[in-house]
Every structure is written in C-alpha cells, then in structure tokens.
Structure 1
Amino acid sequence: MSRVPAAKRRRLTPPDSDASLSPLPSQSRPGVGDFYSRASKWSLEQDYEQRPRKLSKKGKENSKLPIKTPEGWIEQALVPAPDAADTDSFLDSETDNQDDQASVEEQVVQKPRIPAKQQVLEAKEELARLAGLINEDPEEHAGLLRALAKVASSPNTTVKKLALATQLAVYKDIIPGYRIRPLSDTDPTLKLSKEVRKLRDFEQALVGGYQAYVQELAKYAKGSKIGSTPEFASLATVAISCACNLLTSVPHFNFRGDVLKVLVDKLSSKKPDEDFTKCREALETLFRNDEDGNASLDAVAMLTKMMKAKGYRVDESVLNTFLHLRLLSEFGLKGSHTSIDAPSHDATTNGKKPKEKREFRSKKTRKIMKERKVIEKEFQEADATVSHEERDRMQSETLKLVFVTYFRILKARMPPLMGAVLEGLAKYAHLINQDFFGDLLEALKDLINDAELSENPADDGEGEGQDDEAEEVARNATRESLLCVITAFALLQGQDVAKSASALSLDLNFFITHLYRTLYPVSLNPDVERSARSLHLPDPHAASNAARSKVNIQTTIVLLLRSLTATLLPPQRPAAVPAPRLAAFTKTLLTASLHLPEKSCTALVGLMNNVTKTHAAKIASLWHTEERKGDGVFDPLRGDVEGSNPFAATVWEGELLRRHFSPAVREGVRGLERNVGVER
C-alpha cells in the first residue's frame, strides 16, 4: 500500500499594522480612494426611509357618501378596482375576465321551466303519496298536513284545485267524531303518558292544519264575484264545493263558523248561480240532519244577521231554507219574536218534586250522587249525546230568531219576500204564542188589502200604472192572499180547543169572505197548476221575463184546497160551520170546477165528496128542491157569503160534470151524488 502524502498547510501570518493601512493594488488608481472615503459617510437607513413606495389598497380613502335609512345612516362599501399589477400577464387578466363573465351569466340564467302538464302529473303523484301516508297512520304522519298545504300554494291553478280536493278527502277521513277543545294554560305542564301525549300532539296538528285549510277556502271563495277571471272563478267554485262538503260531513268539528261564513257570503249575492244553489242545498241538508240544534242555531243566526245588514234584499230561496229546520217536527213549545213559553211541569212545583215524593238521602249519599252526575256529564260530552233540555234550548233560540226575521219583513213590506214569509208563518203557526195572534191577524188583513189593491190599481196616471204593473210582476197577489188565509186558520188549528174558544175570541170572517171572493178568479187562472219548479216557457208578450211563480213550491190549486179544507172541514169543531156558508161554497166550487184543468177538477170534486160526507144533511137541499123553503135569487158575486142566498140556487153543474171527459171526475161526481141521496 502506497503512502499518501500529507496535505499542504498554508501559513497564515497576521498582517502588520502598517500593511493594513497601505492601499491595495486595485486602489492605487486615482479617484477610488475618494469614493470609499465618501461612502463611509453615507446613511443608508435614512435613504431607505425617504425612498418613495406604493401604499396598500386598504388605506385608500372612501369617497362615497353614506345613505340614510329608517334604521339610521349606512356607510357604502368601497368596491376595489382590478389592479394590473396583480396579474402576471395580459393573457391571464383576459382569462380571469372571461371566467367572471361566465359566472355572472350562470347566475342570471334561470332554471329550466317544467311544462304545466308535467307539473300536474308530479303534483298528482305527490298528493297521492302524502294522502296515502296520512290515511295509513294519521298520528304518525300528522306533520304531512303542512306538506299538503304547501302543494296547494303552487302557482298552477290545476294543482291548487287538486290539492284542495285532496285535503278535503283527507280531513274527512281523519277528523274525529268530537270537537277538539283548545289547550288551557295548565295543560302543557301536566305529566302525561306517551300515548296521551302523542294523541294530543296529533289533535293540535290537526286543528292547526284544518284552520289553515278553511282560511284558504275562504280566500279562494271570494273569487266567485262577477267580473273575476275564469281561473279565479273556477278556483272559487272548487273552494265553495269543498266548504259545502265539509259543512254537511263534519258539522260538529272546530271552525264551523268560518265554514258557515263562506256559504252565507255566497248566499248574500243578488243573482243566484250554481254555487249559490250548492250553498243553499248544503244549509237545507244541515237543517234536516242536525240533531242537537247547535249548528242550526249558528247558521240561522248568521243568515238573519246577513239579511238584516242587506236590508232584506236577498233571494227568497234563502228565506225558504228555514222551512227545513228540524224543530218543525220536534219542538213542542210556543213562542214569538220576543220570548218562548216555559214548559209545563206535571205534578211538580217550580220544577221540583213534591215533598211526599222526595227521598231522604244522607250527606255522603248526596256527595256520591253529585260526583256521579259530573262523571255522567263528561261521558255524554265525550259520546256527543245531547239531552232534551239542551236541544229544546237551542231550538227555542232558533225559533225566536226565525220569528224576528219574519215579523221584520212583514213590518217592512218587502214584496219579493212576502210569499216566503207567509209560507213560513203557515208552517210555524202551531208554534206561535197565543198572545201574538191579534197583532199577526191584523198584519195578515193588511196584506190581503194590499193584494186586492195591487190586483185592481186605481187609474191615477200613466206613471203610477207602470209602477203598479212592475210590482204586480214582482209578486203574485193571489197566492199571497191564499197564504194569509191558510196562516190565519193554522193559528187556531195549532192551539187547544178550549183556549181557542174561550180566551182567544178571534173572528176569521174577514178571511172566509175573501176566500169566497177568490174562487172565481182562481178558476180562470191559466197557471193554477204551475209552481216554482214547473217547466214553463216565459211569455214573450209579458212586460218582463221575471213573471214567474217564485213564492213557494206549492201550486195555487194546492193552496186553495188547503184554505177550503180549513174553512169547510175544521178539525176542531166541524159541526160549527153554518149551513148557508156550506151551501154557498158548494155551489160556487161546483161552478168553478167546470173551468179548471183535469187534475184540479178531480181534486176539487174529491174535496166536495168529503164535505158531503160530513155535512150531507145541511146541503142536500141543493139537489132536492122540494125539501127546502125560501125564495129569492142567488147572487154569487156578493161579498157576504151568507147573504148570497145559496139555497135559492140548484146544482145544475152536476149534470155537466157527469159527462166530463175524465173518468176520475165522472166517478167523483157519482160518489158525491150518492152522499146526498140522489138516485140515478
């Protein structure tokens, strides 16, 4: 192995003191020494401090003025301008500008619009899914009621209609058979089990969703006014149909007043349409099916308030809804527009049992019975059972409101509503208090006098004649007078015989005389068998096409038969009818039957059969002239019934009626003659 030589070491000797001061070879040139001598005196820090430099953008002064708002002054933010120094090159800055423009364009471009048909299909699927989940387990999916309401807020009208109809079906299925009471202040703090807490949460969610749904129906139903767009009108039709369905299906549930308001607002319109008819039929169904009377009371109260606010300028069909109230067949007390008679208690004193029938109970027993009554009352409320006392109270308040409306219209003399009011009074006559009979009969007499004046107007001028003609078109005076007669007799028929004879002392000769004078004009009326529901073409020569029978459903001949039955065959005292009255009516009715149509003639001959069966001995002399005494001439046009001298006439109309073209009329006349003893 060869030996590596050792590395050479350089000898470093410190320079001499004199050598350090000696100039270097490079410094031997002239001027270099002066440069270094001056550089040693420079202040580099001071020069750096005085050097100009670029300030940052953050310190730039904001030249924009503040803005004043209701909350105070707001400083405007300074928008930094793009700096060319921040970009590396011209190409980079151009690329950045293009990216910024692309991002702005992406923000401006809207989402692709879905076609209306596709929106409807998606809404149907979503509504079906939500409705299926809710019906499957309402308590578990109560929160989906808000999702249904959210679908109904779609701008698409078709989707709104589908959502409203879906909500209707869902609420009809999940609404319980009781009314949910609002929570009190102490209810949220009570300790409840898991099941009870779940049920309470479901009930509160149901009430909240149902309230929002009813409010939406009320908002959309306002679009049915005249002049609205077809979209709003169609949506209003769906909303009104849903409200009517709710009222007839779940009238016991919460917010019934809001649903009734939707229907009553529609019934306040002057021109009836299909929606108007739906609302009226829904109220009639409610009145017929209401068992406790609470819903009927609310509806009648709202209707009477609406009619009073409009000055009773409403359609008469609205007033005829009162004829469908259930209290007509159930209520047994008497009343007027001010009060209802208290029920009589048999074998009781002030509603308490006599002393001999009271049982002795200890203090402990009375306490137990009191607790049991409280528990039974709670059970009845839970089972939705109604006591007779509560139902009578509701029906009495309803009857009072109905009478108030009828009597106010009678006082105001509203021609379009007089027939409907008289029909209602005739229906409710058995429920009217006896103390009110005198005033009511006087009002009926005034109505009959007004009807006679409207039929025979005075020739005071051309302008007045036109007004009378217009009023005659608007009302049917003959039907109204017949209704007055029916009402007057119905007042007595609904009362006790003893009280009617002794205490009332009412004279009905005025109504009997008017009925007798009406027989001939009614028999010559071509519309005697026509009602408000009859299919009949309007008269082209009439002053107005509004000349139609719109008083009530019954025909004129039916009203006449009811009046004659009450006059000639009173159920209380049939033997009290005098013979001259029976003879005058028999002769006039047989004459009138010659001019009546087939059905009316058959009905009138049937009535005369019943009269001859009951009063054959009093009127048989009309067929047997040798069995009567008297002289003179029969005057059928005389106003006084007994003074017309009916026994001076002979029933020659029987010979013509025996040859009538109708077999029913011929058979009826044969039976009539057999009753009075005529042999053929």
Structure 2
Amino acid sequence: MYGINDWNVCMSNSCNSILAEVGSIRKAVLISACGISCICTLLDAAPHFNYRESLLGVVIRNIGSPDDVIRKLCCSTIKSLFTNEGKHDGEATVEAVQLIADHVKAHNCQLHPDSVEVFLSLSFDEDLWRAARNDEKHKPQSKKSKKKTLGARQLGNDKKRSRQELLTKTREEVAADYKAVAFTPDVMERRGMQTEALSAVFETYFRILKHTMQSSASRSEANSSLSTGASEPHPLLAPCLKGLGKFSHLIDMDFMGDLINYLKKLASGGSDSENTSKCLTVAERLCCCIVAFKVMKSNLDALNVDLQDFFVQLYNIILEYRPGRDQGEVLAEALKIMLCEDRQHDMQKAAAFVKRLATFSLCSGSAESMAASVTLKHLLLKNVKCRNLLENDAGGGSVSGSVAKYHPHASDPNLSGALASVLWELNLLTQHYHPAVSSMASSISSMNTAHNQVYLSTISPQQAFTDFSLERPESFKPPSDIKKSNNKRKRGSDPSVSAVIEPSADTTSIDEDDVRKKLSAHFMILRDIKENQRLRAELDDTTSSIQLYEEYNQQKKKAKKPKMKKIKSLLTVK
C-alpha cells in the first residue's frame, strides 16, 4: 500500500511539473507543439484526469495561437469536449466555457475568431427544464409539509400515519441509493451546469458587442477627419453574431431588449450611431440585421419591438454592397430572412425594395442579380398593388400613396415614393448575359396586375446565389424549374420575350476551339495595340527631343550674331 501511494504521489508530481514546463515553453515551437499535442490527446481521452484544470488552462491559452497547427488542435479538443459530454458529465464543459470567457476578457476581445467559434459546438438540452418542472410537481412532500397535511386532514389512526411515514422514508432512501450508483447525473445538477455554461457564453457575447461599440465609436471620433471607410475589422464579432443567432431562443427575456438595442446601434445608420456603422463592414452590418430577425422569430410571442430601423439599414446597404469585396452569401441570407419570409410588408416599403433590387441587379454579378431578382419576384407575388410598377405609365394619385414623386436617393423606403416609378430595369435585364437572369426578368415582366393570379416561387435567394455563381462551372446551365408560372400568359406572350429566352439553350453548346481562337486573336490585337502605343510614345519623345535641339541651335545662333556685330564695329573703329 505504501509503495502504491508513493508511486501515485510521484506520478502526480511528475505530471504537474511536466504541465508547468510545457506551459512555460515559448521559444521552442516544435517542442511546444509536441507537448500541446500530448496534452490535447490526454484531455480528449481522459477528461476525468486529476489535473484537468491545468490541462484545460494550457489548451485555452493556446486556443488563439498564431500557429495554425496548435490553434486547430486546441479547438478540435475543446469541440470534442463539448460534443462528448458523456465522458465527464458536463463538468469539463462548464470549466472550459468559463475559462474561455476569462480568456476573452483578459485579451480585451482581441483574439482569433476560432477562440469563440468553438461555442457553436455546444448543445443545450431543453427537455431538462421540462423534466425539472415535472419533478417539482411530483416531488414527495417533506416531513413538515406532511405533518401539516396530515394534521389538516385530522387522521386519527396513528398506525396508518406511522406506516405512511415509513413508506416515504424508505422511498427517499432507495432514491438516494439509486442516485449514488446511477451513471446519469441528476436533472437538477445537469440543469445547473447548463445554466452556468449558458450564462458564461452570453456574458462573452455581450462583452464582444459592447467592446465593438466602444472601439468603433472611439476610432470613428479619432479618424473622422481622415477617412470615412471601414477601419480595422473586429475579429470576434462574426462568430459572436453566429452564436447569438443559434442560441437566440435561450436568451433570457430580461436581456432581450438590451440585445436588440446593441444590434440596432451596430447596424443602423442613424444619427446616434452614424460613425459606428462606418467602422463595420457590410457583411457585419447585415449579420446584425439577420440576428435581430432571428431573435424576434424565436421570441415572437414575448417581444413587441419595431424592426423598421433594420429595414432602413438593409435598404441602404444594398447600394453599398460591392461584388468581390463583400460576402454575397450574407446578403442572400438577409434578403431571405427579412423580405422573403412569411411576413406582410407595407405597400410603400415593398415597392421601394422592389425598385432598389431592380437597380441593384443591373450593376452586380450574375449570382447577386439572380438572388435580387428572386426576391423582387417574391415581393411582387405577395403585394398585388406593387405590380403597377410593371405598367408603362408612371403611377400617381391614389397609386403613388402619400409621396407622389419617386426619390431614388431617399434613405427611408417609406419616403421614397417608389409606387410612382416604373420598373424600366427589367427591359435591360432581359438582355443580360446570363440566360437565367434574362429568363427571370422576362417572367417578371410577363406578370399582370390581376388580383386572382396564382404564382409559385420555387427558389430562394440563397439557393439562387449558390446555383448561379460564376465560380461553379455549370452556372450557365440554369435548372429547368425556372419557368413562367402562368401558362395562359405564356401562350399570348410577346414574341420578343420568347426570343430572349430561347437562345439560352444554345449557350450550353460552345465550341472550345472556336472560343480559344477568338480569344487568342483578341489578345493578339490587344498586344499589337499596346505595342503601337509604345512605339508612338517613343516617337513622340524623339520628336520632342529633336525640336528642343533645334530650338537650342536657333537660340545659340541668335546669341552669336550680336557678338559678331560688336567685333566688326570695334575693328572698324580701329
């Protein structure tokens, strides 16, 4: 026994010294990577190890390491702890989440995004709350409450009373013994651990949002006179918004109003946060709008918040979007959640978004144009009066509503007066180089203002963006489900519209050799043009130098003539 105890003590001391050495290593990258790999393997295989806190401390300190290998290894270990809670009954999850929250606080939210993105691997069992409530309902009464109920009922039989007390005592002892040997943790303990983990997660998220607001405001005030573009990015904001969108249904109602106000200040372009919004990218501002709508959708019955500011911000961001610089997937998701979900929009606001999306489709790529066209069609399907924009004459009077003239530069969609305009952009979109965009524009143009028409939207903005992106080789092969939804209208349609749609089938059969020859000839012409420009520039330089030399000779001759006259005059005097 003494030998075993001594061996255990020596083993624990050795492990502790090894952990201290590995944690202190900074310069030896290979040794550090090897040691951290061993620690991650040990923590993943045996999370019930005696020095689990030390192991977690080393892993969390390197979760934002600049070394990609070490960072990915630590992140995968933490994710494994979050997903395999059966090994440690959720205790390691709570410790890891709290350590990550302290780590983010210590580094002032300046870490790699993977440091917070590991929270997305967490899973919270909502059935525990229901089970806890059921246990409270069916919980056996205590002795004091039992005596009160028995005294109220005035049970006169002492033997019956003692027998019932004995039965309840026996049941409590059996339940305690079963709980001691059971492998699954108690429902109340499990609920307590999940509450601690969830509070630490949301504490981290709110700290990131607050830090983003403060840092953006300070930088915008300092650099307002220098530039108006986006400043340095906020590394933890994107994973923070993703986590808020995923766990929005678990947020306490007491903090819901503060969260909406934070998102509104980060996303809106009002007077209170004008400088703040300029310090964020287009994708980050769109993510704020998306999270706000997800929160409202998850807590629709409990919240009564006006989302008009987020619609105003989306209306302005659409024109600020730049293909290649910003993320098109985020824009497509925002269009789907904010405009294409089953939500009734105001007629003036819907018409404003229809006009803005049509304008946006003209100056964007094929994927963005297709996503905007799908959203535009969806808005026209749900708002029958907005189909007056398809007429040739501009609307007015009762059609235009309170604003009788269209203001394209208005920041508020309700004040733009889009009902007084015409969708002339569709005529240009029918000549789009992408056959899917041209066919979609033709199908939208074929809609009329009848109230009894039924149309079916078969594609979402996100699906349209991914299917018709130029990065995919089959992007010029549109699927067959994009058709005209009204057969009667298709029969009597204008032959010019069908002429636009029919050539789309021929675009798929292209001779590669012919294209290669044409491209080579085109670039040869460009090369000759550049060579001609270079030679012309050299000729201009040569001619200018010759002219300068001739002017110099002329000035030199003019300077010699008065000298010669002076010499001749002197000779004649002598």
Q: Deviations over 1:527-554 (max 9, x none)?
A: 23xxxxxxxxxxxxxxxxxxxxxxxxxx
Q: Deviations over 1:16-49 (max 9, x none)?
A: xxxxxxxxxxxxxxxxxxxxxxxxxxxxxxxxxx
From 22, 30, 51, the counterpart of 1:220: 22
Using the TM superposition, give the Cα deviation of residue 299 of structure 1 relative to its aligned residue in structure 2, in angstroms: 0.4
Kept in 2: contact 1:630–1:647 (CA 8 A): yes
Q: Deviations over 1:278-304 (max 9, x none)?
A: 212322332233354322111011111
CA distance in 1 between partners of 2:5 and 2:378 (Å) = 63
Using the TM superposition, give the Cα deviation of residue 424 of structure 1 relative to its aligned residue in structure 2, in angstroms: 2.9
Using the TM superposition, give the Cα deviation of residue 490 of structure 1 relative to its aligned residue in structure 2, in angstroms: 1.9
Kept in 1: contact 2:277–2:285 (CA 8 A): no
- Identity in percent: 27
CA distance in 2 between partners of 1:393 and 1:276 (Å) = 30
Using the TM superposition, give the Cα deviation of residue 206 of structure 1 relative to its aligned residue in structure 2, in angstroms: 7.0
From 439, 446, 450, the counterpart of 2:258: 439
Unaligned runs of 5+ in 2: 150-160, 217-233, 448-454, 456-484, 494-574
> Match of 1:646?
418
> Match of 1:602?
370
Kept in 1: contact 2:131–2:187 (CA 8 A): no
Using the TM superposition, give the Cα deviation of residue 586 of structure 1 relative to its aligned residue in structure 2, in angstroms: 1.8
Using the TM superposition, give the Cα deviation of residue 364 of structure 1 relative to its aligned residue in structure 2, in angstroms: 3.2
Kept in 2: contact 1:290–1:326 (CA 8 A): no
Summarize the Cα distance change of 1:435–1:671 in structure 2 as closer, same or farther, 3 Å threshold: farther
> Match of 1:266?
62
1:592 aligns with 2:360: yes
Using the TM superposition, give the Cα deviation of residue 579 of structure 1 relative to its aligned residue in structure 2, in angstroms: 1.6
Q: How does 1:276-291 map to 2 (within 5 A)?
A: 276-291=71-86
CA distance in 2 between partners of 1:344 and 1:287 (Å) = 22
CA distance in 1 between partners of 2:385 and 2:99 (Å) = 53
1:582 aligns with 2:350: yes
> Match of 1:85?
none
1:246 aligns with 2:42: yes
Kept in 2: contact 1:584–1:644 (CA 8 A): yes
Q: Deviations over 1:198-253 (max 9, x none)?
A: xx998996796367346414413432x2xx2xxx3222111111112222232244
> Match of 2:70?
275
> Match of 2:113?
316
Q: Deviations over 1:491-542 (max 9, x none)?
A: 2111143x33xxxx322211211111111111x34323xxxxxxxxxxxxxx
1:325 aligns with 2:122: yes
CA distance in 1 between partners of 2:130 and 2:10 (Å) = 41
- What is the TM-score of this pair, normalised by structure 1? 0.53
2:351 maps to amino acid: A
> Match of 1:488?
292
From 289, 298, 306, the counterpart of 1:507: 306
Summarize the Cα distance change of 1:239–1:348 in structure 2 as closer, same or farther, 3 Å threshold: closer
Question: 1:386 aligns to what SS in structure 2?
Answer: coil
Kept in 1: contact 2:393–2:422 (CA 8 A): no
Structure of greater Rg: 1
Kept in 2: contact 1:221–1:237 (CA 8 A): no
Using the TM superposition, give the Cα deviation of residue 310 of structure 1 relative to its aligned residue in structure 2, in angstroms: 3.0
> Match of 2:518?
none
2:386 maps to amino acid: I
1:579 maps to amino acid: M
Summarize the Cα distance change of 1:207–1:582 in structure 2 as closer, same or farther, 3 Å threshold: farther
Bigger Cα displacement from structure 2, 640-649 vs 630-639: 630-639
> Match of 1:617?
384
Q: How does 1:78-477 map to 2 (within 5 A)?
A: 209=11, 212-213=14-15, 215-223=17-25, 225=26, 228=27, 232-267=28-63, 269=65, 271-291=66-86, 292-327=89-124, 330-331=125-126, 345=133, 362-380=164-182, 383=183, 385-412=184-211, 413-414=214-215, 416=234, 417-448=236-267, 449=269, 452-453=274-275, 476-477=280-281
CA distance in 2 between partners of 1:493 and 1:425 (Å) = 13
Kept in 2: contact 1:447–1:481 (CA 8 A): yes
Question: 2:36 aligns to what SS in structure 1?
Answer: helix
Using the TM superposition, give the Cα deviation of residue 599 of structure 1 relative to its aligned residue in structure 2, in angstroms: 2.7
Summarize the Cα distance change of 1:203–1:516 in structure 2 as closer, same or farther, 3 Å threshold: farther
CA distance in 2 between partners of 1:344 and 1:389 (Å) = 6
Taking CA–CA contacts closer than 8 Å with sequence separation of 6 or more, which of the two structures ends up with the larger relative contact order? 2
CA distance in 2 between partners of 1:344 and 1:610 (Å) = 45
From 553, 566, 576, the counterpart of 2:337: 566
CA distance in 2 between partners of 1:625 and 1:318 (Å) = 56
Summarize the Cα distance change of 1:654–1:400 in structure 2 as closer, same or farther, 3 Å threshold: same
Summarize the Cα distance change of 1:519–1:406 in structure 2 as closer, same or farther, 3 Å threshold: same
CA distance in 2 between partners of 1:298 and 1:347 (Å) = 27
CA distance in 2 between partners of 1:403 and 1:516 (Å) = 30
CA distance in 1 between partners of 2:45 and 2:389 (Å) = 60
CA distance in 2 between partners of 1:250 and 1:348 (Å) = 35
2:412 maps to amino acid: D
Question: 1:563 aligns to what SS in structure 2?
Answer: helix
Q: How many residue pairs were aligned?
A: 405
Kept in 2: contact 1:452–1:477 (CA 8 A): no
Kept in 2: contact 1:593–1:604 (CA 8 A): yes
- Structure ranking higher in helix proportion: 2
> Match of 1:657?
429
Using the TM superposition, give the Cα deviation of residue 363 of structure 1 relative to its aligned residue in structure 2, in angstroms: 2.8
Kept in 2: contact 1:583–1:647 (CA 8 A): yes
CA distance in 2 between partners of 1:451 and 1:558 (Å) = 25
From 610, 633, 638, the counterpart of 2:405: 633
CA distance in 2 between partners of 1:414 and 1:247 (Å) = 36
Bigger Cα displacement from structure 2, 416-425 vs 273-282: 416-425
- What is the TM-score of this pair, normalised by structure 2? 0.61
Using the TM superposition, give the Cα deviation of residue 263 of structure 1 relative to its aligned residue in structure 2, in angstroms: 0.8
Kept in 1: contact 2:350–2:386 (CA 8 A): yes
Question: 1:411 aligns to what SS in structure 2?
Answer: helix
Summarize the Cα distance change of 1:512–1:345 in structure 2 as closer, same or farther, 3 Å threshold: same
Unaligned runs of 5+ in 1: 1-187, 189-199, 334-340, 457-471, 529-555
CA RMSD of aligned residues (A): 3.8
